[in-house]
Structure 1
Amino acid sequence: MANVQVGNGVHRKHAKNQRSPEESVTEHESTSMGSDYELNGSTNTEVQTDKYGFIGGAQQTPGEIDDVPPDVLRQREVKWLEMLNSWDKWMAKKHKKVKLRCQKGIPPSLRGRAWLYLSGGKVKKEQNQGKFQELDNQPGDPKWLEVIEKDLHRQFPFHEMFVARGGHGQQDLFRVLKAYTLHRPEEGYCQAQAPIAAVLLMHMPAEDAFWGLVQICEKYLPGYYSAGLEAIQLDGEILFALLKRVSPMAHRHLKKYKIDPILYMTEWFMCAFSRTLPWASVLRVWDMFFCEGVKIIFRVGLVLLKCMLGSPEKLKACQGLYETMEHLRSVEPRYMQEAFLVQEVIDLPLSERDIEKEHLSQLRRWKEARGELHCKSPPRMHGAKAIMAAEPPSRQDLQQNPTIIVEASQGHDSNIENGKRAKKSKTEKNKDPNSSGLLNPYPLATDQSQGLLKEGTLQGSNQSLSSAEHDTYL
């Protein structure tokens, strides 16, 4: 593990309405990570974090976990930049290649941006300019604000972004969840939305996380977070029916002890396994989920059930309902390990057609037994391609924007005492056809920049692969 200096020097201004969840915090609070720790009663200026930002807990990743070799990672970054620059063409003509690259794992430096493109959140954001700011500035419904406030400290309490009460991570989480209750007042807030929003915030700014949450709730998992949880119950029945084909032994065992799917799969599905799997596995599952849709969630659930209950030896310790539930609550680490789980998920033969066929079958049974569904959720979209086909974006909607732009001050040249340096700077600016008068505060190192330009990926674009765009958005 590496010693990471706490404090990123980022300070944010919030609208007046954001003060509500933090009124108990002192007036002079700062939202940098260093101040977050001080507010939590810690004066230590250094903490040990893993590569994902966890400072402890079950999801902290050991330091000895093998990473993707740097040269391979670099090649993947270049390929993903190329895809993002021509996203519509890749999705229309080379979707299988996009799918394959998602299965291999999205590079950490581009994961947040890729998720936003895959989910259609990027298009939603561009087509609704200013919408999040408008919602952010509204006070919100007090009944939802109170519930959201109570849930903030429960979301990944061992992650450096959410460890401090009233810290910037919890503030942004509050903003995103509050905005969603205003965006969908008829749906309001569900506790399972909080970890979903928290994972998104680890990879992108609050506005992007909001639109990512909107897409998950409306396109990927519609109805999951509505009152009554009918959609999740229906998917539980679908999962159980599919299990009969994948692992008849596990199916017979669960049926024998009358273990309802809602007892073991609710948190799995509603939180998209973000509270169940090791973090490396969570990210790989989410990479595939954003690309291929809910079938990935079904596949993960089926793989775990098959591994845990799919043989006589494994069932010896599960001689009853209680023992079985305890077994499912503590999934063996080897079955959740990244390489094993991802390969099993990819290999499992389960398509969108299989899910929809079973969906119709279970829907008929539901109506016969319980009547019509009270939740009228929109149709489920099976992945990025289906979402794009349903709402075709314009080229402008897909245009990449720099993560951070800093305007050059008017007196920049006059502040340079060395005339030669000023002249050189001016000459280089004139030679750069992409110069826009804006400075990139996180430029590429010279050797990296030359390598990318040789690949031809960034020509004609002022977008760079920022070294500051880490797996965790701080």
Structure 2
Amino acid sequence: MAKSHGENGPRAPAAGGHLSGTRESLAPGPDAATADELSSLGSDSEANGFAERRIDKFGFIVGSQGAEGALEEVPLEVLRQRESKWLDMLNNWDKWMAKKHKKIRLRCQKGIPPSLRGRAWQYLSGGKVKLQQNPGKFDQAFWCLVQICEKYLPGYYSEKLEAIQLDGEILFSLLQKVSPVAHKHLSQQKIDPLLYMTEWFMCAFSRTLPWSSVLRVWDMFFCEGVKIIFRVGLVLLKHALGSPEKLKACQGQYETIERLRSLSPKIMQEAFLVQEVVELPVTERQIEREHLIQLRRWQDTRGELQCHSPPRLHGAKAILEAEPGPWPTLQPSPSIRLPPDAPLPGSKGKYKPPKQVQKEQRKQVKASGQRDKPPTPSQAKVAAAAGDACPPRDVPPKDLVHQDPQDSAPQDSAYHCSQESLTSQESEDTYL
């Protein structure tokens, strides 16, 4: 049968069949991959090529999880409003992160619009800053992955998976507070957390949840950090093993692990899962406190960690504070010189100079008033007796009394020059 299908080629859709945005008629192909897929369908009609498989809004073929119900659809008007709000945030990202981070968190919990999700993840994770710091090196997706490995989940992919083992103990300890029934059952069955949480945490649930739920989880994960991963794991354990009725079919290790590997589609559904994750009271402080406890136990029983990874950062705000974006360079602006009596821009009332400046101004006014007075006979005699080439400052020569103030400027400068030269000469003679 497989050979005849390969010779005849792919079949056309059956009469009355159609191709739409959500349904597609699949036919077997000649390659081995198609044969393997057909062998897993489990139905004669499907194996003969007449089965219709549903495709979700992301382009993925809905398989065993197709029974989870309709995907959550956002009305078009609401979607456009969210896009407008996110565009405003992305265009003023530093201001929003500094002053309205809680609003960003709430909008991430509602879901980032699909048209802006890639750009928003870059801003949230700090991948955009990395790309600006390394122009021309790799693309945006690469730097987003770098941030996940180095900032959100440091040490997860190192040798011996020590960070994953430590977080497994943290998850199991938090489960005792969230769901004592599930914690007791896993303890009695002696099931190590690595048997069920390794794939969850290392892949951030991308291989466990439906794709629509993965995107919503990652929206919150990039904003709030690893606590979202812990919350999702706790929600799944609570609803899979958190009641005596659910434990009736899990009498041994094998049945329990199979239950965790084949979770109910209901608890993985987008709206239900996100609501449970948002309402679960597990904070960053609880995770860090439990991390210190488990780290001490590890050191007491196994010694020091061989992988010394940097501390993880809890979300976009912590990453932005640790790695701020490049600020624009300040450009030189022309300076403005104001008269001494002019008020400063933006100040109220008239400008009041300091006391020292007021004293200097009064001295200058007093000296200028004395210049205008004619010399007394005693001052004239003293000047004649001195015979100095440079007359005293307060006794102007006769030929300068009626000169314009502008013309007297060179004389004043010459007088100052002569005084400076005398002072320098005296200091030089003293030194010699």
Q: State the TM-score bracket (shorter-chain normalisation).
A: 0.5 to 0.7
Q: Does 1:103 align with 2:124?
A: no
Q: Does 1:291 align with 2:228?
A: no
Aligned to 1:51: 57
Aligned to 2:384: none
Q: Which has the higher contact order (CA 8 A, sep 6+)?
A: 1
Which of residues 303, 314, 326 in structure 2 aligns to 1:371?
303
Q: Does 1:119 align with 2:122?
A: no
Q: Does 1:320 align with 2:235?
A: no
Which of residues 50, 70, 76 in structure 2 aligns to 1:70?
76
CA-based RMSD of the aligned residues comes to 2.8
Q: Which amino acid aligns with 1:247?
A: S
Larger radius of gyration: 2
Q: Is contact 2:68–2:266 with CA below 8 Å preserved after alignment? A: no
Write the deviation string for residues 312-358 of structure 1: whole angstroms up to 9, x where unpaired.
Answer: 11111111111111111111111111111100000000111000000
Distance in 1 separating the partners of 2:327 and 2:66: 40
Aligned to 2:363: none
Q: Is contact 2:68–2:265 with CA below 8 Å preserved after alignment? A: no
- The answer for unaligned runs of 5 or more in structure 2 is 1-18, 25-29, 36-52, 330-432
Aligned to 1:331: 263
Distance in 2 separating the partners of 1:258 and 1:110: 45
Aligned to 2:10: none
Q: Does 1:360 align with 2:276?
A: no
Write the deviation string for residues 111-164 of structure 1: whole angstroms up to 9, x where unpaired.
Answer: 0000111000000001111222xxxxxxxxxxxxxxxxxxxxxxxxxxxxxxxx
Distance in 2 separating the partners of 1:243 and 1:320: 19
Write the deviation string for residues 425-459 of structure 1: whole angstroms up to 9, x where unpaired.
Answer: xxxxxxxxxxxxxxxxxxxxxxxxxxxxxxxxxxx
Secondary structure of the equivalent of 1:229? helix
Aligned to 2:20: 2
Distance in 1 separating the partners of 2:236 and 2:200: 10
Distance in 2 separating the partners of 1:66 and 1:292: 23
Residues 64/256 of structure 1: CA separation in 2 closer, same or farther (3 Å cut): closer
- Show structure 1 runs of 4+ deviating over 4 A: 58-64
Q: Is contact 1:77–1:110 with CA below 8 Å preserved after alignment? A: yes
Q: Does 1:236 align with 2:164?
A: no
Q: Is contact 1:240–1:251 with CA below 8 Å preserved after alignment? A: yes
Distance in 2 separating the partners of 1:61 and 1:334: 9
Shift of 1:55: 3.3
Aligned to 2:334: none
Distance in 2 separating the partners of 1:79 and 1:56: 32
Identity score, percent: 73
Distance in 2 separating the partners of 1:263 and 1:61: 27
Q: Is contact 1:304–1:335 with CA below 8 Å preserved after alignment? A: yes
- The answer for unaligned runs of 5 or more in structure 1 is 7-36, 133-206, 398-474
Q: Does 1:268 align with 2:221?
A: no
Aligned to 2:410: none
Shift of 1:396: 5.6
Aligned to 1:144: none
Residues 41/329 of structure 1: CA separation in 2 closer, same or farther (3 Å cut): closer
Q: Which amino acid aligns with 2:20?
A: A
Give runs of aligned pairs for residues 162-173 of structure 1, distance below 5 A.
Answer: none
Q: Is contact 1:294–1:382 with CA below 8 Å preserved after alignment? A: yes
Count of residues in correspondence between the two structures: 291
Question: What TM-score, normalized to structure 2?
Answer: 0.63
Distance in 2 separating the partners of 1:78 and 1:376: 43
Aligned to 2:418: none
Q: Does 1:79 align with 2:11?
A: no
Give runs of aligned pairs for residues 181-220 of structure 1, distance below 5 A.
Answer: 207-220=139-152
Aligned to 2:15: none
